[in-house]
Structure 1
Amino acid sequence: MDYTVETATEAVLASFRDTKDERLRQVLQSLTRHLHAFVRDIEPTIEEWGAAIGFLTAVGQKCDDTRQEFVLLSDVLGASMLVETLNGAKDGTESTVRGPFHMTASPRRDLGDSIDLLGTGRPCVVSGRVLTPDGTPLPGAELDVWQCNEKGFYDVQQPDVQPPGNGRGRFRTDDEGRYWFCTVVPSHYPIPTDGPVGALLKATVRHPYRPAHIHFIVSAEGQRPVTTHVFVADSPYIGSDAVFAVKSGLITDFAESHDEQAAQRFGVTVPFTHAKFDIVLAPETAR
């Protein structure tokens, strides 16, 4: 059969029919249908298609051990958040993107430790509980947290300024499902714009900024893990996140506290900033 505009899609679909992995066959055939429909819709020139291949090549070449440009591309196209939302549990804390900076292991820390290794900002305590949907505490749940500093940079972006592991930590909840750690209030910041994704944003007149947030990956035995953020209320760009990750249920007040007893309990001095953020993990079987 001649390969023509009319027969092209069926020819490629047929080439995958003997694929033994049923899910792989489904994915490749669906990709073929949508990709061919896209090509027919925009009718790219040879030069335009070459430019598209060149763009994807540049995205791959920009990736390294501490930079994931393909994740960034997925993020700014809203694909990462769509996948997260499709896979999120309906009765647990809402999920958001992992982002491109979870590229190094967070060090194990004790409850109450500070993940701010520089001590340059006002102390901020983040505390809460990890619970099941019916409110049962989850002791021994693991929280992997990471964030930028008060100037908007992650440790991997400033290896000459920030020590490795700054803004990162892994904690386990106590017997009552509680967690708490010290840090600084993170800043809003731009996603990296020195690569092809940045060029895409510039060409489409989009800003690169993310509102201030702290990342969490939370897991516990028998429960579905969740990747999420806590967003700083009233942060710039809270309504126009470059990667579409803000959900209203994740926006939290980072309030000034003068509570002497709380400060003593958390090992800080007044005034300090306090954010309270409970995390609900759905059962492993939940959708």
Structure 2
Amino acid sequence: MSWLNRVRNSLPFLPKRTTTDNLWVKCPGCQEMVFAKEYEDNLAVCPRCDHHGRIDADTRLAQILDEGFDLLATPKVAEDPLKFRDSKKYADRLKQARAKSPHSDAFQVGSGTIDGRAAVVGVQDFSFMGGSMGMAVGSAFVAGAEAALERRCAYIVVTAAGGARMQEGILSLMQMPRATVMTRRLKDAGLPYIVVLTDPTTGGVTASYAMLGDVQIAEPGALIGFAGQRVIQDTIREKLPEGFQRAEYLHKHGMVDMVVPRGALKRTLAQLLDYLQPRAVAA
């Protein structure tokens, strides 16, 4: 044994300090490193630049609904009806997405209360195949609307999607009119339909249920639009204005009713429910 090993073995060295991989979070907005606990406590909003990070459906439901809400089962639909394949099979893409998620698809519905006001909340999860709208998403949206009709309460939908799911072709596009019909049924029943637009909300989702709310709320800085900016710019052959397709720009031009920070969202929704569907006053 060398003298170095003898010295090393005889000294009371402390064990090597261990740290978790997720101790710090890099903000996508300002690129600064933020302490993960601080970021989480601030609802995934950067405390330095106020960038609103993307969050999953379970986290969103827990932030909006009161404790003890029920999670509705995702309706069963035909998987891979077109036997689609691009660089890989659609069935394999679904397996890959489900391996990273506790849910079978990109839209989850919770039924409960918001500060004591009854509500059904549907949330689109961008982390599941870009929140793309396929038959499962469309069926889950419809199931959420039917639950709101049954409970005689508001239906709140939080959108985050890259558009229709191309692997399901026309079957994906058919979800647009299905969802639109359900928003009409809610209106006919006199029930509030509120949409919260988050980053990003694009494509066929924007062209259907995302822009049909009685009240349109957007998170700060959210990208909201139908076609991509490059496509629009190349089509009209003009430079787009600064902030085009961002929440603040749409609010300024009347396409969004309000821009609400995430920390104030639950309180704002509760106030809107009081306005749109007042609770009965006890005698």
Shorter-normalised TM range? under 0.3
- Relative to the length of structure 2, the TM-score reads 0.24
- Relative to the length of structure 1, the TM-score reads 0.24
Structure with more helix by fraction:
2
By relative contact order (CA 8 Å, sep 6+), the higher-ranking structure is: 1
